[in-house]
A and B are shown apart, each in its own frame.
Chain A
């Protein structure tokens, strides 16, 4: 897990991403631009014991396991894909 600091900590934001995916990169950049604090898991480069656990966590929020999956407040809202408007709205930047 990698944590990215930001001054907006109103919501707990966790994203499941692939290190190779351009849309995941766009999602990370948007969150950074919005100065939202978040944590991310690049699920293609997880190692050992962590891998199974994190993938199951992702599957729980999004059975399709499509990246990026954006989880707000432990699943209160789950956004699949770089849906910029939805992400902004969920994080109070609509």
Chain B
């Protein structure tokens, strides 16, 4: 069973490190932490409790909390999609918490659901990263691979390429391992 206290503490630390605050609505905060714990137990990773998960990590990596859309949402709406992370303004006036429109590209969500349906029907499914295995690895200082979108040049450090480029919306197969020199 996932340790809810550990999740809460980790979330608080992450909020502090990034200049955010955790959800000021205590009931909602508790529900969100419970939801994250449920998802950790259910899927093996803390997918956003307010989004539909595929259960396939490589397709959900963009919505593993803190999700890739958090910073943009806190900047625009003062809170992330689920409300776990908020700005100082919202912390001081929780009544300003309002539903945040979904920023995650619908293609990313559909790709995950499609892969899930295929996996359930027993169909072979290529991993989004498979074609990159022989490319020389560029990593960040923690050893996490760096991926480059060949369409727009977006760079990110993560275990697998994102299902869809957050900048130009290119699919995962447009990402290649970035190598130095």
Contact = CB atoms under 8 A, between A and B. Distances in A.
A55 B27 CA distance: 28
A23 B83 contact: yes
Given A65-B109, A83-B99, A22 B50 contact: yes
A60 to B, nearest CB: 15
Contacts, number: 56
Contacts of A82: 99
B52 interface: yes
A9 interface: no
B75 interface: no
B82 A43 contact: no
Identify which of B34, B52, B109 gathers the most chain A CB atoms within 10 Å of its CB. B52
Contacts of B106: 63-64
A77 to B, nearest CB: 16
Contacts of A80: 99
A67 B99 contact: no
Interface residues of A, number: 22
A19 interface: yes
A64 B35 contact: no
A81 B77 CA distance: 15
A67 B117 contact: no
B87 interface: no
B31 interface: yes
A4 interface: no
Contacts of B32: 22
Interface of A: 18-26, 43-44, 52, 55, 63-67, 80-83
